[in-house]
Amino acid sequence: MAFRMFACLLCGFAYGLLTAGPKDKTALKMTCFAQALMLPLMVIAGFGPDATTYAQPMWKAQTVIHSVMTYVAYTASQGAKTRASSRRR
């Protein structure tokens, strides 16, 4: 039951991003957080002690792809640095 509730939470995060639009930084941060929450479950499915019961190659590939997508969401939510903000005064 807990996994279903967790999946509903992640679906809510995804729906929030879809309704907020691509320019909303708060929605991107929420989505990045939801993606980070999903990573440990993928690692356990691909590399954990019960990994033989799952499709290991699929979960291992999905872990790599999901890690990259989490990083992309994180960098998109931070915004671009301008040259003036990076200078020391």
CA atoms within 13 A on the CB side of 47: 10
pLDDT at 53: 72
Exposed/middle/buried for 67, CB within 10 Å: 0-12, 13-18, 19+? middle
CB-based contacts of 6-9 (< 8 A; 24+ apart in sequence): 6/37, 9/34
pTM exceeds 0.85 for this model: no
Q: How high is the pLDDT of residue 42?
A: 83
pLDDT at 47: 84
Listed by start position, the domains of the chain span 2-80
AA identity, residue 68: V
* Ranges of the chain with pLDDT below 50: none
Q: What is the pLDDT of residues 63-87, one digit of tens each?
A: 899 899 888 888 887 776 666 555 5
